[in-house]
Structure 1
Amino acid sequence: MMAEDRMQALAQQLMNTKLDELGALERRVLSHIARDAHISRDLDEEFSEKLTWGQRLADQVALFGGSWTFISLFAVFLIVWAAVNSVLLGEKAAFDPYPYIFLNLMLSMLAAIQAPIIMMSQNRQSQKDRLDARHDYEVNLKAELDIMALHDKLDDMRTRHLTEMVRHQEEQIRLLRQLLGARGAGGAPTQA
C-alpha cells in the first residue's frame, strides 16, 4: 500500500491530478519513478527476439526485394532472358518467344508472392514503430516528471536557504540593535 500512496502523492505533486484519472502509460511511468527504476531498454532487441522464423524470412525478402542488388540482378536476368529467347535460340528454338508469355507469367507469380510478404514486413515495421513511439513517450514523460521533481527539490532547498538567511539577518539585526543600545546607554555618541 505504501507504493500506491507514493504514486498517489507523485500524481498529485507532478501532474496535478489523481492517480485513478491517469492512463495506463502515465501510471506505469509514475510506478517507475516511485521505485526509482529505469525505463530505458533496447526495443529492437526485444522485438527481434519475439519474431518467428517466417517473420524473419519475410523481413529478409523485403530487405532484398527493395534493394539495388535485386533490381540490378533482375534487370540482368530480364536482358539475358530476352537475349536467349530472341537472338541466341532464334524464333523457332526459343522456349519463350517474343512477347515472352512465360516470363510474364513468372513475373506475375513473383509479384503475387512478393507483395504480401513485403506487406507483412511493413506491417510488422509499423507495429515496431508504434512500440518505439510509445516507449519514447514513456521515456520523455519520465524525464519531464524527473525534471519537475528536481525543480521542486531545488525550490525547496532555495526556500530553506532563504529562510535560513533571513533568520541569520534577523539575528544579526537583533545583535546590532543590542550593541547600539548598549553603546547609547553607556554614554558613547550614537549616530542616527
Structure 2
Amino acid sequence: MTEQHSLLARHAPKWFGRALDALDEPEKRALGHAKARTIASRDPNEAYAETMTFGERLADRVASFGGSWTFIIIFCLFLVLWAAANVWLLTRPFDPYPFIFLNLMLSMLAALQAPVIMMSQNRQSAKDRRNAELDYEVNLKAEIEIMALHEKLDALRTEHLAALIEKQNEQIRLLTALLERREGQAG
C-alpha cells in the first residue's frame, strides 16, 4: 500500500463517512486532489474532445450546420429556385408540379439528417453527464477543503483559548502573590 493510498484511506471515513474502497471514482479523485492540494477543475470540452472519433466530430458539424440560420436560408433559396425553375423557367421541367422528385430528395435528406442530429444530441448528453461529474468532483473537493479549514480554525481557536486560560492563570497567580505579600506587610 502506497503512502498516498494509506493517507486517503485514513481520511476517507473522516470526510465521507465510508472506507476508501466504498467511495466511487469521483469521490476518490476529489479526495486525492484535496490531500495533494492540486486543482480538481478541468476543461470538460478538452477532456471530451480528446475521445471523439471522426464520425462524432462530423456528426457535430453536420448538426451544427443543419440547425443554423445559414442552412435554413440556403435551403429556402434552393426550394424557391427549384420550384421557379420547374414551374416558370423550364419549358420541359425535370420535376413538374407537385415536385415528386424534390419530395423524394427531401425525404432522403430528412432520413439521413435525423440520425446524425440524434447522434450529436446523444453525444451532447454524454458530454453534459461528464460536465456534471467534473462539477461534482470540484464541489466535493471544495467541501473537503472547507471542512479541513473548519478543523484548522477549531484547532487554532482551542490553542488560542488554552493560551488565554494559561495567561489568565498566570495573572491570577501573580495577583494572589501580590495580595499575599500585601497582607503580609499589613499584618
TM-score (norm 1): 0.91
Bigger CA drift: 45-54 or 117-126?
Answer: 45-54
Matches within 5 A, 1:91-110: 93-110=92-109
Deviation of 1:25 after TM superposition, in Å, equals 2.0
Which residue in the other structure is 1:21 paired with?
22
Report percent identity of matched pairs: 55
1:182 and 2:186 matched: no
Separation in structure 2 between the aligned mates of residue 23 and residue 59 of structure 1, nearest angstrom: 31
1:55 and 2:56 matched: yes
Greater RCO (Cα-Cα under 8 Å, separation 6 or more):
2
Separation in structure 2 between the aligned mates of residue 111 and residue 6 of structure 1, nearest angstrom: 57
**Residues 78-136 of structure 1, C-alpha deviations (whole Å, 9 max, x = no match):** 1111111111125xx11100000000000001011111111111111111111100010
- Gap change, CA 1:16 and 1:164, over 3 Å in 2: farther
Q: Secondary structure at the match of 1:186?
A: helix
Q: Which amino acid aligns with 1:20?
A: D
Gap regions ≥5 residues in structure 2? none
Q: Which amino acid aligns with 1:29?
A: A
**Cα RMSD after superposing both structures:** 1.5
Separation in structure 2 between the aligned mates of residue 147 and residue 96 of structure 1, nearest angstrom: 71
Deviation of 1:184 after TM superposition, in Å, equals 1.0
Separation in structure 1 between the aligned mates of residue 33 and residue 65 of structure 2, nearest angstrom: 41
